[in-house]
Homo-oligomer: A and B are copies of this chain.
Amino acid sequence: MKPVKVGVCGLGTVGSGTVNVLRRNAEEITRRTGRPIIVEQIGARRDNPDCDTTGINITRDIFDVVNNPEIDVVVELIGGYDIARELVLKAIENGKHVVTANKALIAVHGNEIFAAAREQGVVVAYEAAVAGGIPVIKGIREGLTANKINWLAGIINGTGNYIMTQMRDYGRDFADVLQEAQELGYAEADPTFDVEGIDAAHKLTILSSVAFGIPLQFDKAYTEGISKITPLDIEQADELGYIIKHLGIARRTDKGVELRVHPTLIPKDRLIANVHGVLNAVMVQGDAVGPTMYYGPGAGAEPTASSVIADIVDVARTMNTEYGERVPPLAFTEESLDEDSGILPMEDVETAYYLRLHAVDRPGVLARVASILSEKGISIEAIIQKEDKESEMVPIILLTHNAQEKLMNEAIREIESLVDICSEVVRIRVESLD
Protein backbone atom coordinates (compact mmCIF):
# COMPACT_ATOMS: atom_id res chain seq x y z
CA MET A 1 0.00 0.00 0.00
CA LYS A 2 0.96 3.63 -0.46
CA PRO A 3 2.99 5.26 2.34
CA VAL A 4 1.17 7.66 4.65
CA LYS A 5 2.79 11.09 4.54
CA VAL A 6 3.03 12.97 7.79
CA GLY A 7 3.86 16.61 8.47
CA VAL A 8 5.13 17.33 11.97
CA CYS A 9 4.57 20.83 13.40
CA GLY A 10 6.82 21.54 16.37
CA LEU A 11 10.17 19.95 17.10
CA GLY A 12 10.36 20.24 20.88
CA THR A 13 10.47 17.26 23.24
CA VAL A 14 7.49 15.39 21.78
CA GLY A 15 8.14 16.40 18.16
CA SER A 16 11.70 15.11 18.22
CA GLY A 17 10.59 11.97 20.10
CA THR A 18 8.02 11.29 17.40
CA VAL A 19 10.47 11.72 14.52
CA ASN A 20 13.07 9.59 16.33
CA VAL A 21 10.73 6.72 17.13
CA LEU A 22 9.25 6.72 13.62
CA ARG A 23 12.79 6.36 12.28
CA ARG A 24 14.08 3.82 14.81
CA ASN A 25 11.03 1.55 14.70
CA ALA A 26 10.15 2.09 11.03
CA GLU A 27 10.35 -1.60 10.23
CA GLU A 28 8.30 -2.70 13.25
CA ILE A 29 5.67 -0.03 12.55
CA THR A 30 5.42 -0.95 8.86
CA ARG A 31 5.03 -4.63 9.78
CA ARG A 32 2.01 -3.64 11.87
CA THR A 33 0.49 -0.97 9.64
CA GLY A 34 1.07 -2.71 6.33
CA ARG A 35 2.37 0.55 4.86
CA PRO A 36 5.23 2.90 5.71
CA ILE A 37 4.70 6.12 7.68
CA ILE A 38 6.90 8.81 6.14
CA VAL A 39 7.75 12.14 7.74
CA GLU A 40 7.38 14.31 4.64
CA GLN A 41 7.99 17.68 6.27
CA ILE A 42 8.76 19.26 9.62
CA GLY A 43 7.72 22.78 10.55
CA ALA A 44 9.74 24.22 13.42
CA ARG A 45 11.22 27.54 14.38
CA ARG A 46 14.54 25.90 15.16
CA ASP A 47 16.33 22.57 14.85
CA ASN A 48 16.54 20.18 17.76
CA PRO A 49 19.94 18.58 18.41
CA ASP A 50 18.17 15.50 19.88
CA CYS A 51 16.52 14.77 16.56
CA ASP A 52 18.02 13.32 13.39
CA THR A 53 16.12 15.03 10.56
CA THR A 54 18.37 13.81 7.73
CA GLY A 55 16.47 13.66 4.47
CA ILE A 56 13.39 15.44 5.82
CA ASN A 57 12.22 18.73 4.34
CA ILE A 58 12.27 21.39 7.07
CA THR A 59 10.41 24.68 7.03
CA ARG A 60 10.47 27.52 9.55
CA ASP A 61 6.81 28.31 8.83
CA ILE A 62 4.49 25.71 10.33
CA PHE A 63 1.70 26.84 8.02
CA ASP A 64 3.77 25.54 5.09
CA VAL A 65 3.08 22.09 6.50
CA VAL A 66 -0.70 22.40 6.61
CA ASN A 67 -0.67 23.86 3.10
CA ASN A 68 1.58 21.14 1.67
CA PRO A 69 -0.55 19.13 -0.78
CA GLU A 70 1.67 16.05 -0.31
CA ILE A 71 0.78 15.67 3.35
CA ASP A 72 -2.01 13.34 4.56
CA VAL A 73 -1.71 13.82 8.32
CA VAL A 74 -0.69 16.96 10.21
CA VAL A 75 0.81 16.29 13.63
CA GLU A 76 0.36 19.33 15.89
CA LEU A 77 3.00 19.39 18.62
CA ILE A 78 3.49 23.11 19.17
CA GLY A 79 1.26 23.30 22.26
CA GLY A 80 -0.68 26.32 23.52
CA TYR A 81 -4.12 27.59 22.53
CA ASP A 82 -4.30 30.22 19.81
CA ILE A 83 -1.76 29.38 17.12
CA ALA A 84 -2.40 25.67 17.63
CA ARG A 85 -6.14 26.26 17.11
CA GLU A 86 -5.53 28.27 13.98
CA LEU A 87 -3.10 25.65 12.65
CA VAL A 88 -5.41 22.72 13.31
CA LEU A 89 -8.47 24.46 11.82
CA LYS A 90 -6.44 25.35 8.72
CA ALA A 91 -5.24 21.75 8.38
CA ILE A 92 -8.82 20.54 8.62
CA GLU A 93 -9.98 23.11 6.08
CA ASN A 94 -7.29 21.76 3.76
CA GLY A 95 -8.75 18.26 4.16
CA LYS A 96 -5.92 16.90 6.28
CA HIS A 97 -6.27 14.51 9.18
CA VAL A 98 -4.85 15.81 12.44
CA VAL A 99 -3.03 14.16 15.34
CA THR A 100 -2.33 16.28 18.40
CA ALA A 101 -0.86 15.90 21.89
CA ASN A 102 -2.35 19.24 22.96
CA LYS A 103 -4.69 18.75 25.95
CA ALA A 104 -5.35 22.47 26.42
CA LEU A 105 -6.38 22.80 22.79
CA ILE A 106 -8.78 19.84 22.89
CA ALA A 107 -10.23 20.67 26.31
CA VAL A 108 -10.90 24.30 25.40
CA HIS A 109 -11.45 24.30 21.61
CA GLY A 110 -12.31 20.64 21.01
CA ASN A 111 -16.02 21.09 20.32
CA GLU A 112 -15.25 23.63 17.58
CA ILE A 113 -12.41 21.52 16.15
CA PHE A 114 -14.45 18.29 16.02
CA ALA A 115 -17.36 20.11 14.34
CA ALA A 116 -14.98 21.41 11.66
CA ALA A 117 -13.45 17.93 11.23
CA ARG A 118 -16.87 16.40 10.78
CA GLU A 119 -17.72 18.92 8.09
CA GLN A 120 -14.55 18.01 6.19
CA GLY A 121 -14.80 14.28 6.95
CA VAL A 122 -11.35 14.11 8.53
CA VAL A 123 -10.05 12.50 11.71
CA VAL A 124 -8.73 14.47 14.69
CA ALA A 125 -6.94 12.11 17.09
CA TYR A 126 -5.56 13.05 20.50
CA GLU A 127 -4.52 9.95 22.50
CA ALA A 128 -1.28 11.69 23.51
CA ALA A 129 -3.21 14.58 25.08
CA VAL A 130 -4.25 12.46 28.08
CA ALA A 131 -1.84 10.47 30.24
CA GLY A 132 1.04 10.48 27.73
CA GLY A 133 1.90 6.98 26.61
CA ILE A 134 -1.04 5.18 28.23
CA PRO A 135 -3.64 4.16 25.62
CA VAL A 136 -6.50 5.23 27.88
CA ILE A 137 -8.54 7.19 25.33
CA LYS A 138 -8.55 4.08 23.15
CA GLY A 139 -9.33 1.95 26.20
CA ILE A 140 -12.43 3.98 27.03
CA ARG A 141 -13.61 4.87 23.51
CA GLU A 142 -13.19 1.41 22.04
CA GLY A 143 -12.32 -1.10 24.77
CA LEU A 144 -15.26 -0.23 27.02
CA THR A 145 -17.92 0.48 24.34
CA ALA A 146 -20.30 -1.99 25.95
CA ASN A 147 -20.41 -0.13 29.25
CA LYS A 148 -22.34 2.60 30.89
CA ILE A 149 -19.36 4.20 32.59
CA ASN A 150 -20.16 5.25 36.15
CA TRP A 151 -17.00 7.06 37.17
CA LEU A 152 -13.30 7.47 36.51
CA ALA A 153 -10.48 8.75 38.66
CA GLY A 154 -6.95 9.47 37.56
CA ILE A 155 -3.49 10.50 38.59
CA ILE A 156 -3.02 12.50 35.41
CA ASN A 157 -0.28 14.95 36.24
CA GLY A 158 3.16 13.44 36.70
CA THR A 159 4.75 16.52 38.24
CA GLY A 160 2.08 16.67 40.93
CA ASN A 161 2.38 12.97 41.66
CA TYR A 162 6.15 13.24 41.87
CA ILE A 163 5.83 16.05 44.42
CA MET A 164 3.22 14.18 46.49
CA THR A 165 5.38 11.03 46.45
CA GLN A 166 8.48 12.89 47.61
CA MET A 167 6.53 14.65 50.35
CA ARG A 168 5.22 11.34 51.62
CA ASP A 169 8.41 9.30 51.33
CA TYR A 170 10.69 11.88 52.93
CA GLY A 171 8.35 14.06 55.00
CA ARG A 172 9.39 17.08 52.97
CA ASP A 173 7.52 20.36 52.45
CA PHE A 174 5.72 21.18 49.23
CA ALA A 175 7.83 24.25 48.45
CA ASP A 176 11.06 22.37 49.05
CA VAL A 177 10.15 19.48 46.73
CA LEU A 178 8.80 21.84 44.07
CA GLN A 179 12.05 23.76 43.98
CA GLU A 180 14.04 20.57 43.56
CA ALA A 181 11.66 19.34 40.86
CA GLN A 182 12.20 22.59 39.00
CA GLU A 183 15.98 22.21 39.25
CA LEU A 184 15.73 18.64 37.95
CA GLY A 185 13.51 19.73 35.06
CA TYR A 186 10.48 17.74 36.29
CA ALA A 187 8.54 20.94 36.93
CA GLU A 188 8.22 24.07 34.80
CA ALA A 189 9.63 27.45 35.88
CA ASP A 190 5.97 28.51 36.20
CA PRO A 191 4.47 25.42 37.84
CA THR A 192 0.89 26.77 38.05
CA PHE A 193 -0.56 24.49 35.34
CA ASP A 194 0.76 21.40 37.07
CA VAL A 195 0.47 22.09 40.79
CA GLU A 196 -2.80 24.03 40.66
CA GLY A 197 -4.52 21.25 38.71
CA ILE A 198 -5.22 23.09 35.46
CA ASP A 199 -3.33 20.56 33.36
CA ALA A 200 -5.15 17.73 35.13
CA ALA A 201 -8.49 19.49 34.58
CA HIS A 202 -7.78 19.70 30.83
CA LYS A 203 -7.21 15.94 30.73
CA LEU A 204 -10.15 15.17 33.01
CA THR A 205 -12.46 17.23 30.80
CA ILE A 206 -11.48 15.10 27.81
CA LEU A 207 -11.84 11.85 29.76
CA SER A 208 -15.30 12.83 31.02
CA SER A 209 -16.53 13.50 27.50
CA VAL A 210 -15.37 10.17 26.07
CA ALA A 211 -16.70 8.33 29.13
CA PHE A 212 -20.14 9.92 29.38
CA GLY A 213 -20.85 11.25 25.90
CA ILE A 214 -21.06 14.92 26.83
CA PRO A 215 -19.56 17.96 25.10
CA LEU A 216 -16.21 19.24 26.41
CA GLN A 217 -16.86 21.65 29.31
CA PHE A 218 -13.49 22.66 30.71
CA ASP A 219 -14.82 25.93 32.12
CA LYS A 220 -17.12 23.98 34.46
CA ALA A 221 -14.38 21.85 36.03
CA TYR A 222 -13.60 22.42 39.70
CA THR A 223 -9.88 22.76 40.25
CA GLU A 224 -7.90 22.74 43.47
CA GLY A 225 -4.11 22.35 43.67
CA ILE A 226 -1.72 20.61 46.02
CA SER A 227 0.22 23.62 47.31
CA LYS A 228 -1.58 23.63 50.67
CA ILE A 229 -0.92 19.96 51.48
CA THR A 230 1.47 19.56 54.42
CA PRO A 231 3.61 16.63 55.60
CA LEU A 232 1.41 16.60 58.73
CA ASP A 233 -1.71 15.82 56.68
CA ILE A 234 0.11 13.12 54.75
CA GLU A 235 1.20 11.56 58.04
CA GLN A 236 -2.28 11.75 59.59
CA ALA A 237 -3.84 10.26 56.46
CA ASP A 238 -1.35 7.42 56.67
CA GLU A 239 -2.32 6.74 60.28
CA LEU A 240 -5.95 6.51 59.20
CA GLY A 241 -5.10 4.06 56.39
CA TYR A 242 -5.09 6.55 53.51
CA ILE A 243 -2.74 8.04 50.95
CA ILE A 244 -3.23 11.54 49.57
CA LYS A 245 -3.17 11.77 45.78
CA HIS A 246 -3.96 14.63 43.44
CA LEU A 247 -6.87 13.09 41.53
CA GLY A 248 -9.07 14.07 38.66
CA ILE A 249 -12.51 12.60 39.30
CA ALA A 250 -15.50 12.43 36.95
CA ARG A 251 -18.69 10.76 38.07
CA ARG A 252 -22.12 10.38 36.58
CA THR A 253 -24.88 11.11 39.13
CA ASP A 254 -28.64 11.58 38.86
CA LYS A 255 -28.17 15.30 39.37
CA GLY A 256 -25.39 15.83 36.84
CA VAL A 257 -21.77 15.03 36.10
CA GLU A 258 -19.10 15.64 38.73
CA LEU A 259 -15.90 17.07 37.24
CA ARG A 260 -13.30 17.89 39.85
CA VAL A 261 -9.55 17.95 40.45
CA HIS A 262 -8.35 18.11 44.04
CA PRO A 263 -6.12 16.38 46.58
CA THR A 264 -7.92 13.24 47.73
CA LEU A 265 -7.50 10.71 50.51
CA ILE A 266 -7.80 7.20 49.10
CA PRO A 267 -7.49 3.90 50.99
CA LYS A 268 -3.93 2.60 50.88
CA ASP A 269 -4.95 -0.79 49.55
CA ARG A 270 -6.44 0.60 46.33
CA LEU A 271 -4.14 -0.20 43.42
CA ILE A 272 -4.07 3.44 42.29
CA ALA A 273 -2.80 4.46 45.75
CA ASN A 274 0.39 2.60 44.85
CA VAL A 275 1.10 4.64 41.71
CA HIS A 276 4.13 6.74 42.62
CA GLY A 277 6.60 9.21 41.19
CA VAL A 278 5.97 10.71 37.76
CA LEU A 279 3.77 7.82 36.65
CA ASN A 280 0.10 8.20 35.73
CA ALA A 281 -2.88 5.91 36.11
CA VAL A 282 -6.57 6.14 35.31
CA MET A 283 -9.24 3.98 36.93
CA VAL A 284 -12.43 3.55 34.91
CA GLN A 285 -15.54 1.89 36.36
CA GLY A 286 -18.02 0.51 33.83
CA ASP A 287 -21.33 -1.16 34.71
CA ALA A 288 -20.47 -4.36 32.84
CA VAL A 289 -16.72 -4.61 33.28
CA GLY A 290 -16.39 -3.27 36.84
CA PRO A 291 -13.15 -1.52 37.83
CA THR A 292 -10.31 -1.29 35.31
CA MET A 293 -7.05 0.65 35.43
CA TYR A 294 -4.54 1.89 32.87
CA TYR A 295 -1.04 2.74 34.04
CA GLY A 296 2.19 4.08 32.59
CA PRO A 297 4.31 7.15 31.85
CA GLY A 298 2.16 10.27 31.59
CA ALA A 299 4.73 12.45 29.88
CA GLY A 300 8.18 12.47 28.26
CA ALA A 301 9.42 12.49 24.69
CA GLU A 302 9.06 8.85 23.68
CA PRO A 303 6.06 7.82 25.81
CA THR A 304 4.08 10.70 24.30
CA ALA A 305 5.47 9.88 20.85
CA SER A 306 4.19 6.34 21.36
CA SER A 307 0.63 7.65 21.53
CA VAL A 308 1.12 10.15 18.71
CA ILE A 309 2.31 7.38 16.41
CA ALA A 310 -0.49 5.01 17.46
CA ASP A 311 -2.90 7.75 16.41
CA ILE A 312 -1.13 8.20 13.06
CA VAL A 313 -1.49 4.46 12.43
CA ASP A 314 -5.18 4.60 13.38
CA VAL A 315 -5.64 7.45 10.92
CA ALA A 316 -3.82 5.44 8.24
CA ARG A 317 -6.26 2.59 8.82
CA THR A 318 -9.42 4.70 8.70
CA MET A 319 -8.65 7.47 6.23
CA ASN A 320 -10.50 5.54 3.50
CA THR A 321 -13.40 4.64 5.79
CA GLU A 322 -16.76 6.42 5.71
CA TYR A 323 -17.01 9.08 8.42
CA GLY A 324 -19.88 7.30 10.18
CA GLU A 325 -17.94 4.05 10.47
CA ARG A 326 -15.00 5.63 12.27
CA VAL A 327 -14.78 5.91 16.04
CA PRO A 328 -16.48 9.25 16.85
CA PRO A 329 -14.02 11.87 18.23
CA LEU A 330 -15.71 11.93 21.66
CA ALA A 331 -16.63 8.22 21.58
CA PHE A 332 -20.33 8.96 20.98
CA THR A 333 -21.77 10.08 17.64
CA GLU A 334 -22.05 13.86 17.48
CA GLU A 335 -25.85 13.86 17.28
CA SER A 336 -26.07 11.72 20.40
CA LEU A 337 -23.81 13.84 22.63
CA ASP A 338 -25.80 14.73 25.72
CA GLU A 339 -25.92 18.54 25.59
CA ASP A 340 -28.29 18.69 28.56
CA SER A 341 -26.23 16.71 31.01
CA GLY A 342 -24.85 19.58 33.05
CA ILE A 343 -21.72 19.59 35.14
CA LEU A 344 -22.67 19.60 38.81
CA PRO A 345 -21.53 22.75 40.66
CA MET A 346 -18.94 21.81 43.32
CA GLU A 347 -21.34 22.94 46.06
CA ASP A 348 -23.70 20.12 45.09
CA VAL A 349 -21.08 17.37 45.07
CA GLU A 350 -21.29 14.80 47.85
CA THR A 351 -18.14 13.23 49.22
CA ALA A 352 -16.48 12.31 52.50
CA TYR A 353 -14.02 14.65 54.18
CA TYR A 354 -10.82 14.77 56.17
CA LEU A 355 -10.70 17.87 58.40
CA ARG A 356 -7.76 19.13 60.41
CA LEU A 357 -8.22 21.88 62.98
CA HIS A 358 -5.98 23.43 65.59
CA ALA A 359 -7.75 24.06 68.83
CA VAL A 360 -6.87 25.34 72.28
CA ASP A 361 -6.62 22.30 74.48
CA ARG A 362 -9.70 22.99 76.62
CA PRO A 363 -12.61 20.72 77.49
CA GLY A 364 -15.65 21.10 75.30
CA VAL A 365 -13.98 22.14 72.02
CA LEU A 366 -14.50 18.78 70.39
CA ALA A 367 -18.11 18.69 71.57
CA ARG A 368 -18.81 22.05 69.95
CA VAL A 369 -17.20 20.98 66.66
CA ALA A 370 -19.16 17.73 66.68
CA SER A 371 -22.38 19.55 67.33
CA ILE A 372 -21.85 21.96 64.41
CA LEU A 373 -21.28 19.01 62.08
CA SER A 374 -24.27 17.20 63.50
CA GLU A 375 -26.54 20.21 62.93
CA LYS A 376 -25.60 20.07 59.25
CA GLY A 377 -26.40 16.37 59.16
CA ILE A 378 -22.73 15.45 58.75
CA SER A 379 -21.76 12.32 60.63
CA ILE A 380 -18.27 11.61 61.90
CA GLU A 381 -16.46 8.38 61.07
CA ALA A 382 -13.26 8.86 63.08
CA ILE A 383 -11.54 11.38 65.31
CA ILE A 384 -7.88 11.65 66.26
CA GLN A 385 -6.94 14.14 68.92
CA LYS A 386 -3.21 14.50 69.37
CA GLU A 387 -1.50 15.30 72.64
CA ASP A 388 1.06 18.04 72.50
CA LYS A 389 2.82 18.73 75.78
CA GLU A 390 4.84 21.60 74.34
CA SER A 391 1.87 23.64 73.24
CA GLU A 392 -1.57 24.66 74.38
CA MET A 393 -2.81 23.99 70.88
CA VAL A 394 -3.72 20.49 69.74
CA PRO A 395 -4.45 19.28 66.24
CA ILE A 396 -7.78 17.51 65.85
CA ILE A 397 -8.30 15.25 62.85
CA LEU A 398 -11.81 14.25 61.74
CA LEU A 399 -13.02 11.88 59.05
CA THR A 400 -16.65 12.35 58.03
CA HIS A 401 -19.10 10.23 56.11
CA ASN A 402 -20.50 11.56 52.81
CA ALA A 403 -21.88 15.08 52.97
CA GLN A 404 -22.83 17.78 50.52
CA GLU A 405 -19.99 20.25 49.86
CA LYS A 406 -22.30 23.20 50.49
CA LEU A 407 -23.16 22.00 53.99
CA MET A 408 -19.52 21.24 54.70
CA ASN A 409 -18.56 24.77 53.64
CA GLU A 410 -21.13 26.16 56.09
CA ALA A 411 -19.92 23.87 58.87
CA ILE A 412 -16.29 24.87 58.29
CA ARG A 413 -17.20 28.57 58.47
CA GLU A 414 -18.95 27.99 61.78
CA ILE A 415 -16.08 25.91 63.17
CA GLU A 416 -13.57 28.57 62.19
CA SER A 417 -15.59 31.17 64.05
CA LEU A 418 -15.28 29.29 67.37
CA VAL A 419 -12.97 31.14 69.78
CA ASP A 420 -10.98 28.03 70.59
CA ILE A 421 -10.13 27.29 66.96
CA CYS A 422 -6.82 28.91 66.15
CA SER A 423 -6.40 28.57 62.38
CA GLU A 424 -8.14 27.79 59.11
CA VAL A 425 -9.69 24.35 58.91
CA VAL A 426 -7.79 22.14 56.47
CA ARG A 427 -10.27 20.16 54.37
CA ILE A 428 -9.29 17.29 52.05
CA ARG A 429 -11.90 15.19 50.27
CA VAL A 430 -11.98 11.42 50.74
CA GLU A 431 -12.93 8.86 48.09
CA SER A 432 -13.22 5.12 48.57
CA LEU A 433 -12.96 4.34 44.82
CA ASP A 434 -14.79 1.06 45.16
- A contact residues vs B (CB 8 Å cutoff): 1, 17, 21-22, 24-25, 28-34, 127, 133-135, 138-139, 141-148, 213, 269, 271, 274-275, 286-297, 300, 302-303, 305-310, 313-314, 316-318, 320-322, 324-328, 331-333, 336
Contact = CB atoms under 8 A, between A and B. Distances in A.
A149 B289 CA distance: 27
A25 B147 contact: yes
Contacts of A28: 147-148, 213
B305 A29 contact: no
Contacts of A34: 324-325, 328, 333
B296 A290 contact: yes
18 contacts: A21-B288, A22-B146, A28-B147, A32-B331, A133-B292, A134-B292, A139-B294, A142-B314, A145-B310, A146-B305, A271-B274, A288-B309, A289-B296, A289-B307, A290-B296, A292-B297, A293-B296, A321-B321
Given A135-B143, A318-B321, 8 more contacts: A22-B146, A31-B213, A127-B143, A139-B139, A146-B313, A289-B296, A289-B306, A290-B303
A148 B297 CA distance: 16
A303 B328 contact: no
A1 B333 CA distance: 12
A72 to B, nearest CB: 14
A325 B317 contact: yes
Contacts of A316: 325
A429 B318 CA distance: 44
B142 A139 contact: no
A306 B61 CA distance: 46
Contact of A139 (B135, B146, B308): B135
Given A289-B133, A302-B289, A320-B321, A310 B29 contact: no
Contacts of A133: 288-290, 292
A86 to B, nearest CB: 28
Contacts of A318: 321, 325
A1 B146 CA distance: 19
Given A33-B145, A142-B310, A317-B327, A305 B332 contact: no
B309 A146 contact: yes
Given A25-B288, A288-B25, A32 B271 contact: no
Q: Which of A146, A213, A289, A295 has the most CB of B within 10 A?
A: A146
A303 B289 contact: yes
Contacts of A25: 146-148, 287-288
Nearest to A331: B32
Nearest to A146: B309
Contacts of A22: 146
Q: Which of A22, A31, A141, A143 has the most CB of B within 10 A?
A: A143
Contact of A295 (B1, B271, B288, B300): B271
A320 B34 CA distance: 18
A296 B306 contact: no
Contacts of A291: 296-297
Contacts of A32: 141, 145, 213, 328, 331-333
A29 B333 contact: no
A141 B31 CA distance: 12
